[in-house]
Amino acid sequence: MHYSGKSIYRKVNTMGQITEQSFITEEHGNNLPTVRIKKVILDNFKSVGHGEITFNCGREFIPCDTESDILGIYGQNGSGKTSFIESLSILKGLMAGASVPSVYADCVAVGKDFAKLEFVFDLQYENGVIREAVYSFCMSSAALTKEEIDEKYKGAPDEFDIPDEDSKVIIFDEKFLLLWEDASKRQVIIDTSSEENAFVPTTKRKEIAGGGKKVLVALEVNKQLARSKSRSFIFMHDTLKLFSENDDKSVFFRVLVELRLYARYYLYVIDTKSSGFIRLNFAIPIYTTDGHMMFNAKRPEVIPTEMVEDLRADLNNISSVLGQLVPGLAIGFKELSQTLDKDGDPATVMMLTAFRDGKELPLRDESDGVRKIISVLSLIIAAFNQKSVTVAIDEFDAGIFEYLLGEILQALEESGRGQFIFTSHNLRPLEVIDKKFLYFTTTNPDNRYIRLKNISATNNLRDTYFREIILCEQEEEIYNKTKRFKIIAALKKAGGER
């Protein structure tokens, strides 16, 4: 089991706000903004030649504390829904200062040298200040050297077949733009595409980092290190440390660390791997705002005894809502024994359990859908209650009864405060949430995401979507036509019938 508890870099000050000890002062921590993603642009990313999605909060000004912001993406298989979620996962890693996993090395569209991703953010401060930040980057892949492969798989079991070839992600041409209260338009603050300098414009570089030769050398070293480690030069710790030492009150520096804080503690991206663990009963992942827990589904777990009460509080919080979604159901854990972990510290042997009809059973015996809800419920609670939280879940509908799916999304729309992003194949949400929150994929890779036009308030969007699949009345086709008789013929041929 992996339990990512409260980070040593995270603390709550007397104002109840999260600060990051490395870069955010107490004074800065008392005026942190609400951050929301307002627009995403993808180019040559997997099946997306070009795609733009503007969130509802990007089309109209919405004070962040007044209502939630929802984005649902629909479309046929292989049309770019998961690509969008994966772009957010890459964004989270880069802005958090982490390395992009090599699994994303294949995300560049076939036949293209690189992909470009751009994200626009809305930052609203309690004192009324509003800023707009843009972060973009290009990504490609490069083959790992034999030494890098050996290092990557160091410690692998003897029976593991280490590949002869492997790739890593290369991040380059990063840009950071900002529109702030003293500017009339967006300005380029950092542009790393220059080969002569770590970044330009020179005036901004001197203002943010200083102009000494030692600083210039350090910046260039950081740039090369970030490239080799599949990281963001702009958001890596060593770069921000240089900026902090020069001027930690600069508006440019403060927005950067605010975005970094957002990525680390407020942006949560759940891909389909967690659903796979659940369906195969390999593990039961439980995501919380303090981290995530990955429980073995087949046997008891050993956790540090000091984390038992945190776990109990998390599960109690989940249970308080779970009983309303699945009446009569609650979850908890059973302490089986006390032991010592490998470091000799006190540990508790425990097992996740479900309570239903007065009986306590292992949680693994519950259905896939129930375990899926439990897995992400803590994050749904956070997106409902916290205006700064953004939660993105791929295939949110997997295993969830469609009426319940609609109830959850309606609750988020009507009374939520955060930002919630999901993909789905189930069309129930089209009947219950406002069309302004919905995007649809198209068959045109160069215009991959659209909103349906000419839809009146009285139209049933689900029926309209089916009609559009058949009649193609929008500017873009949203479904590659399939013919039932050809499907039947193909099935017969595959089965040996002539």
- Give the residue among 240, 35, 12 at the shortest CA–CA distance from 121: 35
What is the mean pLDDT of the segment spanning 394-412?
A: 93
> In this predicted structure, what is the pLDDT of residue 295?
83
Question: 440 with 307, same domain?
Answer: no
Q: Are 259 and 235 spatial neighbours (Cβ–Cβ below 8 Å)?
A: yes
Longest dimension (CA), the chain: 78
Q: Which of 373, 404, 429 is the last residue of a domain?
A: 373
Question: By three-state DSSP, how is residue 452 classified?
Answer: coil
Judge whether 380 lies within some domain. Answer: no
In this predicted structure, the answer to whether residue 195 has a pLDDT above a threshold of 50 is yes
**Residue 33: enclosing H or E segment and its boundaries?**
none
Question: By three-state DSSP, how is residue 61 classified?
Answer: coil
pLDDT, tens digit (0-9, with 9 covering 90-100), for 198-210: 999 999 999 999 9
Question: 196 with 344, same domain?
Answer: no
> In this predicted structure, what is the pLDDT of residue 161?
72
Judge whether 478 lies within some domain. Answer: yes
Residue bearing the bigger pLDDT, 117 or 359: 117
Q: Which of 315, 340, 373 is the last residue of a domain?
A: 373
Residue bearing the bigger pLDDT, 241 or 20: 241
- pTM summary value: 0.90
What is the mean pLDDT of the segment spanning 391-408?
A: 93
Judge whether 180 lies within some domain. Answer: yes
Question: 339 with 221, same domain?
Answer: no
Question: 105 with 232, same domain?
Answer: yes
- Domain with 51 in it: what CATH number? 3.40.50
- Round the CA-based radius of gyration of the chain to a whole number and report it: 24
- Contacts of 119-122 with CB under 8 Å at 24 or more apart are 119/37, 119/39, 119/40, 119/41, 119/91, 120/37, 120/38, 120/39, 120/40, 120/58, 121/35, 121/36, 121/37, 121/38, 121/259, 121/262, 122/35, 122/36, 122/37, 122/38, 122/57, 122/58, 122/64
Judge whether 378 lies within some domain. Answer: no
Question: 183 with 81, same domain?
Answer: yes
Contacts of residue 393, defined as CB under 8 A and 6 or more positions apart, other chains included, come to 85, 270, 376, 379, 421, 422, 423
pLDDT, tens digit (0-9, with 9 covering 90-100), for 382-397: 999 999 899 999 999 9
Number of folded domains that form the chain: 2
**C-alpha to C-alpha distances, 151 to 34, 48, 145, 231, nearest whole angstrom:** 40, 33, 10, 17
Contacts of residue 11, defined as CB under 8 A and 6 or more positions apart, other chains included, come to 18, 19, 21
Question: 169 with 124, same domain?
Answer: yes
> In this predicted structure, what is the pLDDT of residue 246?
93
End-to-end CA distance of the chain: 52
Question: By three-state DSSP, how is residue 42 classified?
Answer: strand
Question: 250 with 299, same domain?
Answer: no
pLDDT, tens digit (0-9, with 9 covering 90-100), for 26-84: 888 888 999 999 999 999 999 999 999 999 988 888 787 778 999 999 999 999 999 99
Q: Which of 344, 373, 402 is the last residue of a domain?
A: 373
Question: 359 with 422, same domain?
Answer: no
DSSP state of 443: S
In this predicted structure, the answer to whether residue 2 has a pLDDT above a threshold of 50 is no
Structure token digits, residue 68 = 């939630």
Judge whether 2 lies within some domain. Answer: no
Q: What are phi and psi of 76, to 5 degrees?
A: -70, 170
pLDDT, tens digit (0-9, with 9 covering 90-100), for 119-157: 999 999 999 999 999 999 999 999 888 877 777 777 777
Sign of CA dihedral 415, 421, 427, 430: positive
What is the mean pLDDT of the segment spanning 156-184?
A: 85
> In this predicted structure, what is the pLDDT of residue 158?
67
pLDDT averaged over the chain? 88
Question: 222 with 291, same domain?
Answer: no
Determine the Cα–Cα distance for residues 275 and 375; give it in Å rounded to an integer.
Answer: 9
Least-confidence region, from 42-46, 214-218, 451-455: 451-455
Question: What residues does 19 pair with on adjacent strands?
Answer: 11
Judge whether 7 lies within some domain. Answer: no
Q: What are phi and psi of 109, to 5 degrees?
A: -55, 145
Judge whether 28 lies within some domain. Answer: no
What is the mean pLDDT of the segment spanning 208-215?
A: 91
Question: 406 with 341, same domain?
Answer: no
Residue percentage of the chain with pLDDT more than 90: 60
Looking at this protein, which amino acid is placed at residue 300? Answer: P
Sign of CA dihedral 442, 448, 453, 455: positive
Question: 369 with 448, same domain?
Answer: no
Range of the domain at 59: 35-266+388-498
Question: 393 with 494, same domain?
Answer: yes
Judge whether 30 lies within some domain. Answer: no
